[in-house]
Chain A
């Protein structure tokens, strides 16, 4: 459990001084005052002594002189521009508009470099895990991961067993939910290896910011995010099963009623591929075809934004009208690639994913570069002992619980509640996990004519083309409403443009640039003779 703003205020810190020391901009007046973060949250713009952190200096200097009235006006301009661009306003898991805040979130080149390496390592390990778990399941045989966590997972799809993608990639696109803890370290709170949403929001936020505040971007180099679809298309084409120079790719959407439909449209448009629904496709003899006005077209790769359980009525829900009957067997026969692969949900399951550090060690022989929010698993003796001894500092969650039901928030619990929780853990060790209370980091965020600290999380996106993992610089930053708990973004939240600063000097962008396309396709070479 991660709580944004915990109890136990450090109010003396609040009134001590304006964050910029001597010359306090009116925008930041009382930045740490009453509705500011209590507890030990890490503020991303200001050090504890009120000085500005290095990555934010240019941004702070640009914003600080702004008059209060100006801030509101700019913010309104931002809202208008965002609306003008139309369409993809919604964010993951919600359909209501999600305002874009005027203050971007900044990540330095060094921080990003470390973060990117950690994400790449995580994707590589999870790929190895999925290949294993739908194959020989060696990690289970070796006793690293309890078998029951796999077989008991609702997203472990037996229909995907033995289904091996041609280039080995199952996680074509991954999203991660990260938070920054009290020390400023990024930690992983959640993984999404199935159908992560929100990348269109990242691109649109940047477009809007660049339009309304072009001057902000002149002070420093900010890494671009607009080429995401290029990377996605490259990964999808690289996944194609056929020996085909120009594989046919489609985006499969559940349709206009899906909250993420605008994103599906945007990605299809940017990639220049067809946006289709289940009824537009059909399988014949394990080959997938698209019905077009000019007849049938063979399809090689389906970037599907339809859930596993609805994807193939022959294998899953027979009543689903969003999927394509027989598509799983077409993939099994090697005639089409489904991206992301069916059954990836076993890798982001709330219990299985607590073993990612073990996976990184088991498959890669490495130590995790990007830490998780610690999760204590009560079925493991030493971790259970820790939970029982430190229950008043931890958040105890029932396995499989949703909506916070049955959660015991240690710091707030009475002695009797703690005793009852201890008994429950001892009675059913497999039924409980526990996490420390983490105070999310804060970034200045506009409320009326002031900037106040708001808790933020980060959802970066990774694309795996089989040769390398591309991580889109930045990701989606969500600013959470005051006092909220992650995963429960109530009203009042917003998003922020996320800036990854370009490093100093040339060639400081260590992205894997994998060019698989040969440029001289039209010139036929003669192979050297071999005796």
Chain B
């Protein structure tokens, strides 16, 4: 049986001088799917704005808002209550031959292509070949996740949102975003369609009902091996009742939680806090 989790995600900016124009898009709304049920979700801003919602190409709910009254601080609060499901085993219906066939390569071309974040590298291609050897596609994906978790040290502050997979690999450190990008690189190199998922992870498995824990934005991957299924390379665990899924895309660029433009002074990002409460 899954959990019911409330996520309160606060983020924002402080400006050096009053800002008169600001345009923003937030991708902070989880969506219901076969694994999770979204009970309630809203995005609010301070100062208040008249927001506009739409579903983007990837199906993610986007909240767009603009501000024209002078302000020196902008806070965005996303609150969601989500019922999560238990972990599901990897899908094993596709063989390597299926994956190499033209039908699959065409259908999933988008999630096989390399991107700015997930760009090709000769050394990593070799590593991918070695990880693939002797495994079925699903096990090869799991091997890639494990390999990334072993090789990369989790360390905040060494990489940023613009760090590419190969840069994190060169530094051998990174955060969940880098773990996910590096895994995507290996998995796509094997010829397995793979995509980037943004969301939240309730950090402790022993969280009690009614307990609130300081959580964080998280990222993991999904691979297609006859069906889509997820795995969390940062922790090398399946996607289970502690994961809340928000958005999916080819890489981080398709799913930024908050992006914006403004006219005026310099901006400093405020602390981001994610409070996660297990409700049931």
Contact = CB atoms under 8 A, between A and B. Distances in A.
A310 B48 CA distance: 29
Contacts of B68: 284
B50 A285 contact: yes
Q: Can you list the 7 inter-chain pairs with the closest CB atoms, starting with the nearest?
A: A148-B109, A158-B57, A161-B57, A151-B110, A325-B23, A326-B23, A329-B64
Interface in A326-349: 326, 329, 332-333
A313 interface: yes
B169 to A, nearest CB: 25
Contacts of B271: none
B21 A282 contact: yes
Contacts of B254: 158
Nearest to A379: B102
A17 interface: no
Interface string A158-179: 1101100000000000000000
A313 B66 CA distance: 14
A346 B66 CA distance: 30
A286 B52 contact: yes
B66 A283 contact: yes
A147 B106 contact: yes
A285 B69 CA distance: 12
Instruction: Classify chain B: how many residues form its interface, as a range.
Output: 20 to 34
B113 interface: yes
A468 interface: no
A146 B105 CA distance: 10
B25 A314 contact: yes
Given A148-B109, A152-B113, A329-B52, A283 B23 contact: yes
B109 to A, nearest CB: 4
A318 interface: yes
17 contacts: A148-B105, A148-B109, A148-B110, A152-B109, A158-B57, A158-B254, A159-B56, A162-B54, A162-B56, A282-B21, A283-B66, A313-B261, A314-B23, A314-B25, A314-B259, A325-B23, A326-B66
Contacts of A147: 106-107, 109-110
Nearest to B103: A143
B55 interface: yes
A151 B55 contact: no
Contacts of A313: 261
Interface of B: 21, 23-25, 50, 52, 54-58, 64, 66, 68, 105-107, 109-110, 113, 254, 259-261
Nearest to A333: B52
Nearest to A157: B57
Interface residues of A, number: 22
Contacts of B55: 162
Nearest to A286: B52
Looking at B24, B25, B106, the one whose CB has the most chain A CB atoms below 10 A away is: B106
Interface in A414-462: none
A313 B25 CA distance: 12
B254 to A, nearest CB: 8
Given A147-B106, A147-B110, A151-B109, 6 more contacts: A158-B58, A162-B57, A284-B66, A285-B52, A286-B52, A332-B54
A286 B54 CA distance: 12
Interface string A379-410: 00000000000000000000000000000000
Nearest to A326: B23
Contact of A151 (B58, B113, B260): B113
Interface in A149-206: 151-152, 158-159, 161-162
A282 B21 CA distance: 9
A326 B58 CA distance: 19
A284 B66 CA distance: 7
B52 A158 contact: no
Given A151-B110, A282-B21, A314-B25, A325 B261 contact: yes
Contacts of B66: 283-286, 325-326
A258 B228 CA distance: 47
A27 B189 CA distance: 66
B107 to A, nearest CB: 6
Contact of A318 (B52, B56, B105, B261): B261
Contacts of A282: 21
B65 to A, nearest CB: 9
Contacts of B58: 158
Nearest to A312: B23
A292 to B, nearest CB: 17
Interface string A100-114: 000000000000000
Looking at A152, A162, A285, the one whose CB has the most chain B CB atoms below 10 A away is: A285
Contacts of B50: 285
A326 B51 CA distance: 12
A285 B113 CA distance: 36
B225 to A, nearest CB: 19
A176 B24 CA distance: 38
A152 B25 CA distance: 25
Nearest to B259: A314
B48 to A, nearest CB: 12
A152 B68 CA distance: 38
A312 to B, nearest CB: 9
Nearest to B55: A162
Contacts of A152: 109, 113
B113 A159 contact: no
A373 to B, nearest CB: 26
Contacts of A162: 54-57
Given A284-B66, A329-B64, A146 B106 contact: yes
Given A147-B107, A151-B110, A284-B66, A159 B52 contact: no
Interface string A246-284: 000000000000000000000000000000000000111
Contacts of A283: 23, 66
B207 to A, nearest CB: 37
B55 to A, nearest CB: 7
A318 B68 CA distance: 19
Nearest to A325: B23
